[in-house]
Structure 1
Amino acid sequence: MPSTPIHHDDHGYLHESRRQVLRSLEGLEEYQVRRPMTATGTNLLGVVKHLIGIEAGYLGLCLQRPFPRALPWIDAQAAAANSDMWATIDESRAYIVDLYEQACAHSDRVLAEVGSGHPASVPWWPERSRSTTAGALLSRVLKDTATHAGQLQILRELIDGQAGDDRSEHDEAWWTEYRQHLEAVARHFSP
């Protein structure tokens, strides 16, 4: 049976979201990429680690083409709570980034091989809805990656004021005036 090609827009958007994910780490020190930034401990490097499992799971395992590298934090018997959301002392930034890039490359190869109509099964979904297709899983991974890319942009902005590509469109004076204007608008609604 010939495979149906993957829709290039979805795959292109996934590539752009992946680029944004990795951009969030650029130029930061180890502490900054590991620092818990929310009440639930969300941190830049941990989110990238989490996305390795998303890529390897949905676009590897669920398509019967498992990612060839071990991901010990996903092994249910060995994994500690939330172990996919933070990097251990022994997991360097270089290791996590390299593994993420490998998982993405593996996903791309699998998608090119199977096409969007290829049947898939997601073992961790409820039994009645486990059956799906490669195209649906691509959409799922795109959604997850884009969501996390936005989350990472906010965390990065909290660290050093840098965020997405639009941050560089204006100078610091413009951003200061903009924030002051928004604060003035918000004060109209303060108790």
Structure 2
Amino acid sequence: MIDDFAKAYLHDALRFVRESLVGKVEGLSEYDVRRPLTHTGTNVLGLIKHLTLTEARYFGSVFDRPYPVALPNFTDAGYANRHHLWVPEHETRAQILTNYARACAHADSTIEALPIDTRATVPWWPRPDVMLFNVLVHVLTETNRHAGHADILREQLDGATAADPSVDWPAHRAQIEAAARAAKH
């Protein structure tokens, strides 16, 4: 009973954060979804491209349910250059979002088909012997982490947040700035 509850709970949480992440590209220009906003080039669409690989790999080959599309590998030349974290001009937003939806659907079918205690091996993990439970928690954590990055990137781009619209954000920020300056002395 608890296994079914845990699996459903984690899967629902994963679905929710996926939706939130995809929503971060709505209303942004092609430039802004690809625009490098950190020292390392992090961008909103690149995060979604990266999570496509995460979903496809972890819920695909790890559980002997290979994803039907060839995926970059850790040993590929482009992988070292972080090609899975940004989107070249020839790849469209629609392609990236379609690929992510496809990878998530494949992942969903794996999650739905297997019991939460299904065993698998993640060769690149320090403790490679895992269960579906471990992989669900890992992918949920990874997706939440990158959704948080996307939240910050989106706020940098146009100020859009899911925050309470009744808050006077400029005043709030000024209060935080004043406290930071006061602490410096």
Identity between Structure 1 and Structure 2 (%): 38
1:14 aligns with 2:11: no
Structure 2: stretches of 5+ with no match in the other structure: none
- SS where residue 68 of structure 1 aligns? coil
Residues 103-130 of structure 1 deviation map (CA, whole Å, 9 limit, x = unaligned): 011101111101211111112224xx21
1:147 aligns with 2:141: no
| CA RMSD, 1 decimal | 1.6
- Paired residue for 1:103? 103
- Paired residue for 1:166? 163
**Runs of 4+ in structure 1 displaced over 4 angstroms?**
none
Residues 27-86 of structure 1 deviation map (CA, whole Å, 9 limit, x = unaligned): 000100111111111111111100011101111110110111223x33633534101100
- After superposition, the Cα gap between the structure-2 partners of 1:177 and 1:77, relative to the gap in structure 1 and judged at 3 Å, is closer
In 1, Cα distance between equivalents of 2:118 and 2:74: 26
Work out whether residues 56 and 103 of structure 1, in 8 Å CA contact, stay in contact via their aligned partners in 2: yes
In 1, Cα distance between equivalents of 2:166 and 2:61: 44
Give the 5 Å matches for 1:70-85: 70-71=70-71, 73-74=72-73, 76-80=75-79, 81-85=81-85
Aligned residue type for 2:177:
E
- Paired residue for 1:51? 51
In 2, Cα distance between equivalents of 1:123 and 1:184: 49
Aligned residue type for 2:176:
L
Work out whether residues 60 and 67 of structure 1, in 8 Å CA contact, stay in contact via their aligned partners in 2: yes
Q: CA deviation at 1:170?
A: 2.2
1:133 aligns with 2:127: no
Residues 106-155 of structure 1 deviation map (CA, whole Å, 9 limit, x = unaligned): 101111101211111112224xx211111110000000000100011001
Bigger mean CA deviation after superposition, 115-124 or 40-49: 115-124
Work out whether residues 53 and 74 of structure 1, in 8 Å CA contact, stay in contact via their aligned partners in 2: no
Aligned residue type for 2:149:
Q
- 1:179 maps to which of 169, 173, 176: 173
Higher helix share: 2
Residues 145-187 of structure 1 deviation map (CA, whole Å, 9 limit, x = unaligned): 0010001100110010012x225x326xx11111122222222
Number of residue equivalences: 181
In 2, Cα distance between equivalents of 1:83 and 1:94: 18
Aligned residue type for 1:138:
L
Aligned residue type for 2:47:
V
State the TM-score, normalized to the length of structure 2. Answer: 0.91
Work out whether residues 74 and 84 of structure 1, in 8 Å CA contact, stay in contact via their aligned partners in 2: no
- Paired residue for 1:32? 32
Aligned residue type for 1:150:
G
Work out whether residues 36 and 42 of structure 1, in 8 Å CA contact, stay in contact via their aligned partners in 2: yes
Aligned residue type for 2:156:
L
